[in-house]
Amino acid sequence: MDTKSESGRARGVLVAGVRALGLALISLSGSLVLLVLTVVSLVAVPLGVGLFTTPWVLSAVRAHANLRRLLGVQWCEVRIPTTYRSIPTDALPWTRTFRMLGDPATWRDLRWLPVDMVAGFVTALVPAALVFYPLEGFALAFGLWRVFTDGTYVGWWYGFVPVSGQGSALLAGLLGVGILVASYFLTPALLRVHFLLARSLLAPGQGELAERVRVLTETRRDAVDGSAAELRRIERDLHDGAQARLVAMGMDLGTIEALLEKNPAKARELLARARQSSAEALGELRDLVRGIHPPVLAERGLGDAVRALALRMPVPTEVSAELGGGRADAPVESAAYFAVSEVLTNAVKHSGADRIWVDMRYADGALRVSVTDNGGGGAVVGAGSGLSGVARRLGTFDGVLAVSSPAGGPTMVTMEIPCVLS
């Protein structure tokens, strides 16, 4: 192993330790607070108050679980599937409450909360301790032991080493070196264990096949409904746009034919108007075709199509694409393109961001796209933001959507579609 790879490995271990420390704080505080709020809200359901608070609390629990799914994919490539049942955005509070309580995925989330705040906290704290605990041993070896003892009694314990003077402090330093060496080999793997634990509780269990059939049935229905709505939109655009202009142009040409000898000046005026109508009809047809399947997507692939889309955004947008030179099937590319387009449109309209980043990568048999903006945050799936439609579009291809959007930002929307590049 060369020096460059060793330094990269050491940097990765340090990053994993910092991430593990953050996960430990999230697991303990976040899961504990959400568990208490959930219990209080469910107890208040018979009183009526819980009917209004429970949807908000359970939505927060889902956001907490989805954040873990997002971090699992990004940090350790551990994919935790989402199988939440869809709920109409205009549903009444009590309808949302009973719909969410009737969803098996909700109860998996609730069973995961106490485990996460105990076992999840431990599995995140251990890799963090392997990275940072050696610092205490080094500090003791370099003289910190004098704060705790004058050398005549044991004033501090470092691990299993009783520190009572400089000699034992050096032993503490050696133990710190041993722990640091262990962290070099164990920290990334232990961080992955944290997400594997979450997946064991959040992913469907024995009823996975039945749940999978249900999800596929819903996504197929959504795909059929979406296709019907798209067909109606195309028919409406053709009828109200290009068709109307072509009819008007035909009438103008008939009038021109009648006036060509009697009133050449008027005929030339109508001819100019007919030419303008034909140009506008052609432009509308091009826009319609671009809305169905952009030519640049068909000709140059997803990466260049998203770059062309970014150039049309009013907010500066950077695109990074590493797709290995291959291309996915046309339906998958189309779904990914329009999903990115919808997310970018949401970011421009609602986030208040002044910069957006799009990152597209293909790894482990899946296309992963993340869209990040530096706006005000607060994006939620199913809150009228259009993200629920994106989730349905991806679900048709067994894809998943994860959103991380804390108040104050930034917002990161991650999409993943299983596919094969050709």
Q: In this predicted model, what pLDDT tens digit does every residue of 168-189 receive, in sequence order?
A: 999 999 999 999 999 999 999 9
Per-residue model confidence (pLDDT) at position 292: 58
Confidence of residue 349 (pLDDT cuts 50, 70, 90): confident
Per-residue model confidence (pLDDT) at position 223: 57
Residues in a beta bridge with 359: 320, 370
Ramachandran quadrant class, 234 (left: phi over 0; alpha: psi -120 to 50; beta: rest): alpha
Mean pLDDT on 140-144 = 92
Distance (Å, whole) CA 117 – CA 239:
58
Per-residue model confidence (pLDDT) at position 43: 93
Residue bearing tokens 């793997």: 189
Pairing mode of beta strands 411-418, 400-404: antiparallel
Which tokens belong to 87? 């709920």
Mean pLDDT is lowest, of 105-109, 241-245, 361-365, for 241-245
Is the pLDDT score of 250 beyond 80? no
Per-residue model confidence (pLDDT) at position 228: 59
Per-residue model confidence (pLDDT) at position 227: 58
Q: In this predicted model, what pLDDT tens digit does every residue of 31-40 receive, in sequence order?
A: 999 999 999 9
Residue bearing tokens 């109307």: 244
Is the pLDDT score of 23 beyond 90? yes
Distance (Å, whole) CA 186 – CA 179:
10
E strand map for 107-261: 156-158, 161-163
Q: In this predicted model, what pLDDT tens digit does every residue of 82-102 receive, in sequence order?
A: 778 777 767 788 888 998 998
Per-residue model confidence (pLDDT) at position 231: 63
Residue bearing tokens 């993340």: 370
Q: In this predicted model, what pLDDT tens digit does every residue of 304-340 receive, in sequence order?
A: 889 988 998 899 999 998 887 788 888 888 888 888 9
Q: DSSP class of residue 29? A: I
**Maximum Cα–Cα distance across the chain:** 122
Is the pLDDT score of 8 beyond 90? no
Per-residue model confidence (pLDDT) at position 338: 86
Q: Are 362 and 324 contacting, i.e. CB atoms less than 8 angstroms apart?
A: yes
Confidence of residue 212 (pLDDT cuts 50, 70, 90): low
Confidence of residue 248 (pLDDT cuts 50, 70, 90): confident
Per-residue model confidence (pLDDT) at position 230: 59
Distance (Å, whole) CA 342 – CA 319:
15
Distance (Å, whole) CA 28 – CA 121:
6
- CA-CA-CA-CA torsion sign (47, 49, 55, 58): negative
Say how far residue 149 (Cα) sits from the centre of its chain.
Answer: 52
∠ CA(235), CA(237), CA(238), 5° rounding?
65
Q: Burial-class residue 198 by CB neighbours within 10 Å (0-12, 13-18, 19+).
A: buried
Confidence of residue 197 (pLDDT cuts 50, 70, 90): very high
Helix (H) or strand (E) holding 108: helix 104-115
Q: In this predicted model, what pLDDT tens digit does every residue of 275-288 receive, in sequence order?
A: 777 777 776 666 66
Per-residue model confidence (pLDDT) at position 82: 78
Per-residue model confidence (pLDDT) at position 247: 74
Distance (Å, whole) CA 322 – CA 306:
12
Distance (Å, whole) CA 68 – CA 194:
10
Q: Are 407 and 377 contacting, i.e. CB atoms less than 8 angstroms apart?
A: yes
Q: Is the peptide bond before 410 cis (omega within 30 degrees of 0)?
A: yes
Mean pLDDT score across all residues of the chain: 84
Is the pLDDT score of 344 beyond 70? yes
Prediction pTM value = 0.61
Distance (Å, whole) CA 375 – CA 352:
5
SS3 194: helix
Helix (H) or strand (E) holding 265: helix 264-292
Q: Are 80 and 66 contacting, i.e. CB atoms less than 8 angstroms apart?
A: no
pLDDT-above-90 percentage for the chain: 37
